[in-house]
Structure 1
Amino acid sequence: MSAPTEAGILAVDIGGSGLKVAVIDRDGNRISQRLRVPTPHPCPPGVLIDKVAAMAAKLEGYDRISIGFPGVIRQQRVLTAVNLGSEAWLGFPLAQVLGDRLGCPARMINDADMQGYGLIEGHGLEFVMTLGTGVGTALFMDGELMPHLELAHHPIGHDMTYEEYLGDAALVSVGKERWSQRLLEALRLIDVLLRPDHVFLGGGNARTIVVDLPPHVSVGSNAAGLTGGAALWRDRDARRR
């Protein structure tokens, strides 16, 4: 008689343009179909929870939830949600509310942090930049997540923040060639600031890059926004060892 199959994790990737869900196993492998719906605008908490719950109802085989959220997260509460267009997010306990709605425990981190877990190799100082509706960043040392930096809202120059310089609106405004040159300038500044051993680029707009990237920079799979959710349920002491 075969052993029962371990229940999976419902991974939720909340993006500025799309809400994505899938069931993954403990190693981050996808074991269900991937579902996606456009992100409503504005998208207050109740609307988002209804959308995610409707997608989750089409999946099965999970007993816990991982959420990647586009904003600052502290003590499992949302502090910022710039690209969702609703002040109702301030202080909102999304993991608790969604977990109660779906009947299983949930954990939440910043979406770039979660995607980073799906991209990094776990060696040295690794920097992750996600390029989508906005810009997300994450930093890891030997596989351990460092304190979250909202670099997207830090000035890069030209009276712009990283998000204004490299977000989706900028790509549409200046085109792929100029936007790609802007990306190279941002990467140069990241090298000066952090000296990372490797930089991983993710997000939907990473595939629009039309310049040669430095040797220590690579484009990763956008699926990492979901597969990285497995890390939220790994033993934290084991991750540090």
Structure 2
Amino acid sequence: MANKAVGIDIGGTGIKGAVVDVSNGKLLSDRVKIPTPVGGEPDAIVETVQQIIKKLGGVDKKEPVGVCFPAVVVNGTTLSAANVSKSWIGLEAEKLFEKSLGCDIRFVNDADAAGYAETLYGAAEKAKGLIIMTTLGTGIGTAIIYKGVLVPNAELGHIELEGVDYETKASYAAKEREDLSWGDWAARLQKYYSALEAYFHPDLFIVGGGVSKEYKDFLPLLKLDTPIVPATLRNNAGILGAAALAAGK
């Protein structure tokens, strides 16, 4: 297993990357960030990733590269697309990046990468058993890790409650769209996390997304049997997780 890898995190508004020491989760370079090209077309995003890698000093052929992306990823193919072009749906994305970058890569879902990073280096570093990571943002991204093994492409944000895809009611975007108080939003989160608790009985919930910085305003309002804690890696989680998965950490 390599101790050094490149992690690239592709988002709807920005693409960022860094060189990572996967033995400890520390960045070995400055984090480079470039805005996501308007429209989020595959070729434009690949070109932006090439620019980031160039700014990082290029890639040694023996250096693993991990890329995380806001989509369901099965065998390197993207089956969905969030806040990027619909051209990604059904695209053999991993092969596209490997051909363009000239090296092997590991292409994974962004919530999976973030959740995996939190289990290695962050909020769940010392936790055991079943961990569910949720990211509260435009939607609700989720990752399942059991005894250190990632179960990929869990789309638990789309659980149906009250007759609707519940991320439309409980995401942070829903809070902002409906101008909900912390208390009113927490009531919706209570229904969501109670459902996950009933379905999976996890040992730990981790809450990520930008709003996790304000966890004191809503997490204490939740009444659950499962411990629930904020993510700790913030904007580096995707980079760290993608690098670790690429390196076989």
TM-score category, normalised to shorter length: 0.7 to 0.9
| Counterpart residue number, 2:166 | 162
Q: How many residues in Structure 1 have an aligned counterpart in Structure 2?
A: 229
Verify: 1:233 aligned to 2:246, yes or no. Answer: yes
Question: What is the identity percentage for the equivalent residue pairs of Structure 1 and Structure 2?
Answer: 33
| Counterpart residue number, 1:83 | 83
Structure-2 change in CA distance of 1:218 and 1:66 (3 Å): same
Query: Aligned partners of 2:33, 2:166: CA distance in 1, in Å?
Result: 27
Query: Aligned partners of 2:34, 2:207: CA distance in 1, in Å?
Result: 23
Paired residue secondary structure (2:27): coil
Query: Aligned partners of 2:71, 2:187: CA distance in 1, in Å?
Result: 26
Verify: 1:137 aligned to 2:142, yes or no. Answer: yes
Paired residue secondary structure (1:10): strand
Q: CA deviation at 1:60?
A: 2.3
Query: Aligned partners of 1:172, 1:12: CA distance in 2, in Å?
Result: 29
TM-score scaled to structure 1, two decimals?
Answer: 0.84
| Counterpart residue number, 1:3 | none
| Counterpart residue number, 1:14 | 10
Q: CA deviation at 1:40?
A: 4.0
Alignment of 1:94-133 (within 5 A): 94-120=93-119, 121=125, 123-133=128-138
Alignment of 1:1-241 (within 5 A): 8-27=4-23, 28-60=25-57, 62=59, 63-84=63-84, 86-120=85-119, 121=125, 123-157=128-162, 159-173=163-177, 174-175=179-180, 177=182, 178-209=184-215, 210-211=217-218, 212=220, 213=222, 216-220=227-231, 221-222=233-234, 223-235=236-248
Query: Aligned partners of 2:139, 2:37: CA distance in 1, in Å?
Result: 16
8 Å Cα contact 1:83-1:133 kept in structure 2: no
What letter corresponds to residue 133 of structure 2 in structure 1?
V
TM-score scaled to structure 2, two decimals?
Answer: 0.82
8 Å Cα contact 2:64-2:243 kept in structure 1: no
Query: Aligned partners of 2:152, 2:88: CA distance in 1, in Å?
Result: 21
Query: Aligned partners of 1:155, 1:37: CA distance in 2, in Å?
Result: 36
Gaps of 5+ in 2: 120-124
1:20-62 deviation digits (Å, cap 9, x = unpaired):
2111123232111112233345312112112222222110264
Gaps of 5+ in 1: 1-5
Query: Aligned partners of 1:111, 1:67: CA distance in 2, in Å?
Result: 8
